[in-house]
Amino acid sequence: MTAAQRVLLRPITMGLLVQSLFLLLFFLLGSCLHPAAAFPKGCYSSEEEGLKTFRCSNAQLTEVPRDIPNDTKKLYLDFNQIPFLPHDAFRDLPLLLELDLSHNAIARVESGAFQGLAEHLHSLDLSSNRLVSVSKDTFSNLKAKVNLSNNPWLCDCRLQELIRAVELAADSSGGIVCDSSTQEEHVGKAFLQVMADTDFCNVYKKTTDIAMLVTMFGWFAMVISYLVYYVRQNQEDARRHLEYLKSLPSKQRQSEESSTISTVV
């Protein structure tokens, strides 16, 4: 190859080398940035106190985000507009230790929403939401300390069963207040204070038993009334028939009386 040819090929070689380096750099940057690009706007992953943390605080979320790294140990979804928690909402987060769902619009929690978190989760914050009533089975086998304060709770047997089934976070019990109640005098009071004097489930059982007794008495009274009416109606028919027989000639009356006696017998 002549010197002239080498001079001509040198720019081409340099151009190909630069292009290759650019493509390699683009590929590396793309592979690094791809996971972050999958996160919702306002969400990011970090390390806090040596623990893998995923924050989506005040990110205007309306549902639990997908593609949360499954090695996340602290998850913050507070100050959003999440309205409910579906079944298996956190099933891909087996190492989760802390879950903050406070200050959302959560009004419904489906059974099994926390399934898969029982082994490691030790802190669950559901404060400042719109919870009115939740089944105790929703927190089945969950060992985490739960914050249920500042929700518009209906104070009844269901809430009593829930409170007895979970371990409440420290200093959160006073924030569980009756927004409504099966007994009007409890509205506005702390539920644990009310529970000290009232067994909601026992009251419910008594009410149910009384309702059953009233229903049974009603049916019994209807049956007795019908029997009394039936007997009186037959007596009245028999009296009228006897009066009719008395008005007949003697021979015909004897024949009718014999027929009536045999019918009665």
Domain assignment present for residue 136? The answer is yes
29-47 pLDDT per residue, tens: 444 444 444 688 899 999 9
Domain assignment present for residue 188? The answer is yes
- Do 88 and 204 share a domain, yes or no? no
pLDDT score recorded for residue 119? 82
- Do 114 and 139 share a domain, yes or no? yes
- Do 68 and 178 share a domain, yes or no? yes
- Do 59 and 171 share a domain, yes or no? yes
Domain assignment present for residue 143? The answer is yes
- Do 147 and 170 share a domain, yes or no? yes
Domain assignment present for residue 261? The answer is no
Domain assignment present for residue 80? The answer is yes
Domain assignment present for residue 259? The answer is no
Q: Among candidates 81, 140, 76, which has minimal Cα distance to 113?
A: 140
Number of domains observed in the structure of the chain: 2
- Do 153 and 51 share a domain, yes or no? yes
Domain assignment present for residue 184? The answer is yes
The beta-carbon contacts of 129-133 under 8 Å, at least 24 apart in sequence, are: 129/101, 129/102, 129/103, 129/104, 129/105, 130/105, 130/106, 131/106, 131/107, 132/107, 132/179, 132/180, 133/158, 133/159
pLDDT score recorded for residue 118? 83
- Do 109 and 174 share a domain, yes or no? yes
**Category of 149 on φ-ψ map: left (φ > 0), alpha (ψ -120 to 50) or beta:** beta
- Do 63 and 159 share a domain, yes or no? yes
Containing H/E element for 2? none
- Do 193 and 203 share a domain, yes or no? no
Rounded Cα distance between 160 and 256, Å, is 74
Residue that finishes a domain, picked among 197, 224, 246: 197
Give me the residues of the chain with pLDDT under 70, please. 1-38, 203-221, 223, 225-231, 233, 239, 241-265
pLDDT score recorded for residue 40? 84
For 223, the domain range is 199-234
Domain assignment present for residue 94? The answer is yes
Helices (H) and strands (E) in the chain, counts: 5, 11
Q: What is the CATH number of the domain that holds 127?
A: 3.80.10.10
Q: Among candidates 201, 198, 202, 179, which has minimal Cα distance to 189?
A: 179
